[in-house]
Structure formats: C-alpha cells, structure tokens
Amino acid sequence: MASDAGGRPPAAGHPAALAPTTPGPGAPGAGTPASGPVRLAPRGCPRPLSEAYDVALLDLDGVVYVGSAAVPGAPEALRAAAGRGMRHAFVTNNAARTPAAIAAQLTGLGVPAAAADVVTSGQAAARLLAQRLPPGVRVLVVGGNGLRIALRERGLRPVSAFAERPAAVVQGFSPDLSYALLAEGALAVANGALFVAANADLTLPTARGAEMGNGSLVRAIAAATGQPPIVAGKPEPPLHAEAVDRTGARRPLVVGDRLDTDIEGAVRAGADSLLVLTGVSRPADVLLAPPSQRPAYLAADLSGLLEPHPQVDVADGAPRCGGWTARLDADSQRLTLAGSGAPIDGLRALCAAAWTAGGISAGLAGPALAELGLGR
C-alpha cells in the first residue's frame, strides 16, 4: 500500500484505501461520523504504527494492565515503541487516583512513566469546570483525591458538603464512595449546582470481572434530581482534547480496548485508533460495531504498535487480508472465511465484509470467528 510523502497512512479517499474513511492522522477537518464518510474496512499502514504516529494516547485498564497485573507483553511493547520514537500518554477515564500514583504503578510494572505522562478524566473535568466558573469557586467532590488535586490545579476549591454552597458538583469513580457523599451531591444538584461527571462508564474491568463503574453511580444523582451531568471522559471530546493539549501531539493514535469509549471517542475527535483485544471488546463486537465505533486498526495486543498493518484488498467482491478471504452471501445470509494465516488478518477481512454490508446479525459472527480460533 502506498503512503504519502510523510510516510503516513493514506487519508480518506486515497486510491490505496479499500473505501473512504475518516481523514488520516493530523489531517485538518477530521471530524465526527456526521462530517465524513463511514469506515468500511480496517486501515492498512506500510510502516510500524510507532513510526507513523508521534504519540500513542493509551487507555490503561484492559490495555496496559488489568487490576494490579500488567497485560502480558505490554511493558515490552511500550518500551520498544518508545525506542522507535513514539511518545506515550496514558489516558484514563478513572478519576480515582492522581497522575503520580498511576505513574508509580506503571513504573512498577516495567512501563517507565512520569506524572506528566498521565491524563485523567478528573483533569478534563477540572478544566471543563474552570472554563465555566470563576477562580476560587467551591466545587463539591463526589469522588476521590485525584479529583480534588485536579480541581486545585485549576484554581477551584474542592468541598464535601452541600452546606458550603458549592457552585458545582463533580463526580468521579472512587471505591470508597459513600451514600452520605452521594446525598450531599444530589442536594447540591437539586438546588442548581452545575453537575459534571468525570466519565460515564457503567462498568470497570477488574481481575474479578466487570464491577460497577462511575456511570452506574452517576445515575443515582441523575435519577434523584432529574439532571443529567455534563461528561468529560471518553467518548466525550474533553478528555481527548486534554490529552492532545498536554502532549502537543500532531499525529495522535488512540489505543484502547473498548469500542464504546476509546474508539468512539477517537471517531468523534477525528483521530485514528487501534483496538487491542486484551480487554472489554471482543472480536464479535468488532464485527458488529456501528460506524461510530469502528477502529482504524486492529491488533491482538500492544505488539500491534511495532508492526506494519496489511491492507485489506478486494478481489471478485470479497475482502482479502493476509492469507484470508471473507465472503458475505446475501442470499443465504452466511459469513464465511477461507484461507490461512494470522488470525488477526482474518478478523480484518471479516470486518471489511461485515462493515461494507452495513452490518450483520450476531448469529453470523460466531461461526466465522470459530474458524480463526478467536471465540466470540
């Protein structure tokens, strides 16, 4: 596949692309799905992604670590990508901890990181509030210490009680969140305080499985007051904007494990994205993804940063990638896969068949994926 003079992947409409997609990295005018064509196939890139993009905006849970353990191979892949010149920012919807605490955890897992390399939804929420409120205003924090520090950095005053007459309420995940603090927040919102949520993830991946996320807890205040929050975290734009601003990224690559937060956030921002299959979203989810959640690239794990990505081509109306050919028979409603090679190439071909058709049913995904040994 050809690349432009700068070695970037082809932009939308480039003859080397299977079908029009959103603009390429750093392209002016990149926007939401409503402002550009729908992605019909994963993108190819003739160079390793670590050389084609200047900054990886990496999600944490399910990408770099799960619980207290590193995703196998993730530290090694990130060190190798950094050695090739790719800078890293760790962008998390979890506002519970401070950037310094997260950086210390990453370093302990073998991923060199400083506090300045971490961008949290708490920081994005604090900026959002600072843009709407004068300095020194009281903000009731329904969450942890990470939110409080982020507010102070923006010149706002964190408080914990409705009696202190806060101008706003900001809610972020905290494993120690109590009913009493939720009640304080609800009273403030019911009496006119601006309501901001760091993120709206309904679940949080842990070593035990999916547990309640901030979005589930935010619904308590929203239900009690009838007031939905302004959301700062993925997939909403503020956190992506915060990450780009803090890193100075010119060609950012969003890397995540969730279609509904990481990838949708990238699509909304007009940024390219890499979905890794080490966390929440599974192969079947990718086949069924609506246009707003289709990644530019697919990889089994973060080693995908170190490799070129093959182009998906079409022969006789059937998408091909690597040694695999996918076909969707409209009459029999069967999605089939033939060939051999790397399973991830087969998944790329299947995505092209499913996305080009405008979507498929869940029942069609299973048999085709079984041939790749990818399960669901």
Strand partners of residue 153 = none
- First vs last C-alpha separation in the chain: 30
- The single residue of 59, 117, 257, 272 carrying the catalytic annotation is 59
Calpha distance 48→51 (Å, rounded): 5
- The single residue of 4, 54, 61, 117 carrying the catalytic annotation is 61
Mark whether 61 is an active-site residue.
Answer: yes
3-state secondary structure of 206: strand
Q: Which amino acid is at 290?
A: P
Structure tokens at 47: 């160079």
Contact 61, 279 (CB under 8 A): yes
- Interstrand relation of 297-299 and 230-231 (parallel, antiparallel or unpaired): unpaired
Contact 31, 240 (CB under 8 A): no
Mark whether 245 is an active-site residue.
Answer: no
Calpha distance 217→214 (Å, rounded): 5
Structure tokens at 374: 């990818």
The catalytic residues are: 59, 61
